[in-house]
Structure 1
Amino acid sequence: MKTAFLCPYFGKFPKHIQLWLNSCGTNKDTTFFIFTDDKQQLDYPDNFVVNYTTLEELKAVFQKKFDFEICLPGIYKLGDYKPLYGYLFEELIKGYDAWGYLDVPDEICGKVSDFVNEEAFSKSDKLMARGHMTIFRNTPEVNRRFMADTGEDFDYKDIFSSDHFYNFEEIAKGSINWVYRKNSWPVNLLDDAVADVSGLFFDFRRSCVSEKLEYYRPSKAPSIYAREDGKIYGYFLEKGKIVKREYLYVHFKRRKMDINVPLESDKYLIVPTGFEPYQNVTPNIIKQYAKKKLFYNVFGEEVKKSISRKLGKTNGR
């Protein structure tokens, strides 16, 4: 299955960007289209297509697809546009079986084809329900589903003509996931494939989305992750024994990650404090890195951003 990821990103790339590029680069049957104004010299893998542009120029491209004036005043608003990328970049992704969006600054990718395949799409045209990664079957009908009834007193024209952030990418009422529910289009949540580390805690606690479109945490088991053999693995200490599971990607929610490995690395540990040299994972290694903290400043920052966005006062990430 040929998959295209569409990744607008404006501003300076994070310090670990080469690690992210390397993790995507091993997926040779997947193409990553980057739209950015950061022109720093990076070692882009062969499956990347880089388009240097600005947010204003991208807005002008988007505007051509609508018969009303759209609003894209800052990068924060791009989150609302993510579920539209299949429509907005329709010509670009011709020939691909699926398309998706994913976050650049706070995740590391595993082996896409282990999870994104015809089996995963067998009963649904949409995989996952999160703003940091969601994948759609690439058809004209699917790419226009964002225009359907939202189930709320607003529709897509209200969303994209407003500077308000509706969180259309995720599980807020009226979002793309509620559009699918309202119109009885099934979604394959792929929860067992997603290592979405909660932003509420310093230690890694995986967050999931239920069929009711509510977040929940399935386990408090101490855990760390690793990038090895082109894949992402989670190591969980359950009842004194290590359980190893493969994931499509790990999302670490805007953490300030220390980089203690060479940027060209493709094998390393991913722990709450950052990226560490790879070593065989033992119970003691997990315990070493899975310590809890009573106060975690990232959570407070996320709450502030959420409040600001609701008030329409921010144009930051």
Structure 2
Amino acid sequence: MNRIALLYPYFGPLPPFFHTWLKAAAYNSGFDFLLYTDQSLPRVLPPNVRARQMTFPEFCGMVQRLYDFPLALERPYKICDFRPAFGEIFAFDLVGYTHWGYGDLDVICGDFANFLTPQRLDRYERISPYGHLSVYRNTPRMNRLYRCAYEGEEVWRQVFQDPAGHTFDEWWDGRGIEQIALAQGVQEFRALELAGVERPYKKKRLCFRFELNGESLPEDRDIVFLWQRGRLYACTLRDGETVENCRQYCYAHFQKRRIAFPPEMEQGTRIPDEFWVVPNRILCGGLPQVAEYLHSEEYRAAWQQEEENFVRFRQQYPNAY
């Protein structure tokens, strides 16, 4: 039987998504979520969420003990480059687990068991190439994968000694863990059903919509998400009000987009069993409220603000891709 531990070292103020993420984690009772943080957490956590209190310097010291050269781990965001090494860094917490993984907290989680299935876990050594969720088989080969040379270079040593962030947990200039995995013949499932938020530099036009598996919809279609008792549905709306179809997704990633949460959700005093996610906020009513909001002045103003941000971005980075 597979046992999966998902590892989340996080230092500094928790994101507004945290309490919603925590409730979604509780619904994913077949997975263990391991948090390492310097932040105060709710006194009572779900049974499958474990927390270890530590400071960022303590975490850095723990990692440094594994290597005989000085690490450039100077700020929490740099942890992303160390994610492929988590199988070694957290080996003491991974005893008895068949798989380990890492992810982001700026996500709305769905039903992981519907996507990280026994069939996929048994067949593949790695599931998903993305830093916002990636799962590895807990074996010496996969735990040391990041150490493998790529085109004759020990890329990991360069990355670990450079204070800049390099997204080594994904592609980094064609030399990230994904390229290393491909070069080493790792059996990988890359088509995990996830949803993200489009970013303007990817399309050279204004994007204020969700995308599903990297594919955008026509301009007269909107994507909204329905989170309902642990399951996440992407619903296609025509003209902002008619539901054309709904499909389950593993999670939605917001790529640092600012999402407005109702105060009780951001503070964790009340997380409803059902809510809707539109591109810039959480709505706790039903579909009529969603349709009303997508036609509102507030939403049009948010769109206008996004357009102004996009214009500034294009002026600053005219050759952005």
| Normalised-by-shorter TM-score class | 0.7 to 0.9
Write the distance in 2 (CA, Å) between the matches of 1:243 and 1:198.
Answer: 20
Match of 2:258 in 1: 256
Letter paired with 2:261: I
Corresponding residue for residue 277 of structure 1 = 284
For 1:154-188, what per-residue CA distance to the aligned partner results, in whole angstroms no more than 9, with x for missing partners?
A: 52112112213221011221100011112222321
- Hey, what does 2:36 align to over in structure 1? 35
Q: Which residue of 2 aligns with 1:186?
A: 187
Cα distance change, pair 280–145 in 1 and its aligned pair in 2 (3 A): same
User: Tell me, what secondary structure is at the counterpart of 1:121?
Assistant: helix
Is the partner of 1:163 in helix, strand or coil? coil
- RMSD of the alignment, in Å? 3.0
SS in 1 for 2:120: coil
| Distance apart, 1:199 and its partner CA | 2.7
1:146 is matched with 146
The answer to whether residue 194 in structure 2 is matched with residue 197 in structure 1 is no
Q: Does the Cα contact within 8 Å between 1:33 and 1:49 map onto a contact in 2?
A: yes
Corresponding residue of 2:247: 245
Distance 2:24 2:146 in 1: 30
CA distance in 1, matches of 2:187, 2:69: 30
| 1:115-194 matched pairs, under 5 angstroms | 115-151=115-151, 153-172=153-172, 173-191=174-192, 193-194=193-194
**Cα distance, 1:29 vs. partner?**
1.4
Residue aligned with 1:119, SS: helix
Say if 1:125 and 1:136, in contact at 8 Å, map to a contact too.
yes
Decide whether aligned partners of structure 1 residues 77 and 303 sit closer, same or farther in structure 2, where only a CA change above 3 A counts.
farther
Structure 1 length-normalised TM: 0.83
Structure 1 195/29 Cα, relative in aligned 2: closer, same or farther at 3 Å?
A: same
TM-score (norm. length: structure 2): 0.82
Taking structure 1 as reference, are residues 5 and 295 closer, same or farther at Cα in structure 2, changes over 3 Å only? same
Q: Mark the runs of 5 or more structure 1 residues left unpaired by the alignment.
A: 209-215, 307-317
Structure 2 unaligned regions, length at least 5: 201-205
| 1:53-132 paired onto structure 2 within 5 Å | 53-104=54-105, 106-132=106-132
User: What is the CA deviation profile of residues 268-301 of structure 1, one whole-angstrom value per residue up to 9, with x for unaligned ones?
Assistant: 1111121111414799469548878365277689
Q: Which has the larger share of helix?
A: 2
Q: Deviations over 1:26-80 (max 9, x none)?
A: 1111111111111254652221111111111111111222232222011121110
- Which of 293, 297, 313 lines up with 2:303 in the alignment? 293
2:58 counterpart of 1:51: no
Q: Please name the residue that 1:213 is paired with.
A: none
Taking structure 1 as reference, are residues 195 and 72 closer, same or farther at Cα in structure 2, changes over 3 Å only? same
1:245-281 CA-to-partner distances (Å, cap 9, x unmatched) read 1011111121222123742323111111211114147
Letter in 2 for 1:277: C
Whichever of the two has the greater Rg, that structure is 2
Query: In percent, how many aligned pairs have the same letter?
Result: 22
2: CA distance between counterparts of 1:141 and 1:117?
A: 22
Distance 1:174 1:166, change over 3 A: same
Q: Which amino acid aligns with 2:98?
A: D
Give the aligned residue type for 1:97: T
Counterpart amino acid of residue 268 in structure 1: F
Amino acid paired to 2:215: R
Structure 2 partner of 1:313: none
Residues 7-27 of structure 1, C-alpha deviation per residue, up to 9 Å, x if partnerless? 011111123421111011111
Letter of the aligned partner of 1:6 in structure 2?
L
**Which position in structure 2 is the counterpart of 1:314?**
none
